[in-house]
Amino acid sequence: MLNIYILTLFPEFFESPFSVSIIKRAIDRNLVKIELINIRDFSHDKHKKVDDYPYGGGCGMVMKPEPIFESVEYVEKKIESTNRRIILLSPQGKIFNQAIAQELSCEQNLVFICGHYEGIDERVKTIITDEISLGDFILTGGEIPALAVTDSVIRLVPGVLGSSDSPVNESFCNNLLEYPQYTRPEIYRGLKVPDVLLSGDHKKIEIYRRKAALIRTKEKRPDLFEKIELTEEDRKLLE
């Protein structure tokens, strides 16, 4: 089982997303356990204050170190294991991708720290193992990145998706974007499903999908395409 602990100032943010769809099914099947931990519960202030003015001046407020340190220590006592990753969601972190999702899905315990306000006290970074970002843009807090990373990781936990092939054939696996998908009706508003997909010839369908994925990746994500180790057959398809 994958255990996920999310340290946040707004646990209610996650209640609805975690009660539907694939995440809910993973929880119901005991494949994943998610615990939401309110950082405010570890505040030493009678008003549950978790932020303060930055030393040296500047705009905004900074999250205090004590509640974060102590909430992490609370989790570490619960899991009683050194097999854990403590992840800070931060715009300064490593850009998240499918390879990182795959790596995290193999862990036993993941602890996500959701920052807020103008940031967190720098000393918190002495207790983290990873710093992850969704991209080069700013969000209100770490809750949205934590939700996105959690969803991406849970999909890769064995048994969560219906078919073992599902995560393998999705975009970004092996640096390829996914091939085009179609369903019924066969013709809609004059747009027809490619004949090869209706042929029943599985070998031709496999070749069509590989070629389509290669072309789509080359056109839309040349940065990913450069990382693909093309086979001789791939080169022939592209020609």
Pairing type for strands 62-63 and 51-52 reads: antiparallel
Contact call for residues 103 and 130 (beta carbons, < 8 A): no
**Quick one: CA dihedral 26, 32, 33, 34, positive or negative?**
negative
Residue 100 neighbours by CB under 8 Å, 6+ apart: 94, 132
Alpha carbon distance 118, 114 (integer Å): 12
Tell me: is residue 130 an annotated ligand-binding position.
no
Tell me: is residue 137 an annotated ligand-binding position.
yes
Contact call for residues 107 and 2 (beta carbons, < 8 A): yes
Tell me: is residue 121 an annotated ligand-binding position.
no
Tell me: is residue 134 an annotated ligand-binding position.
yes
Contact call for residues 167 and 173 (beta carbons, < 8 A): yes
What is the DSSP secondary-structure string of 163-209? STTTTTTSTTGGG-PPPP---S-SEETTEE--HHHHS--HHHHHHHH
Which long-range CB contacts under 8 A does 144-148 form with residues at least 24 apart? 145/89, 145/96, 145/114, 146/6, 146/8, 146/14, 146/89, 146/112, 146/114, 147/13, 147/14, 147/17, 148/96
Tell me: is residue 60 an annotated ligand-binding position.
no
The annotated binding site for S-adenosyl-L-methionine is made up of 115, 134-139
The annotated binding site is made up of 115, 134-139
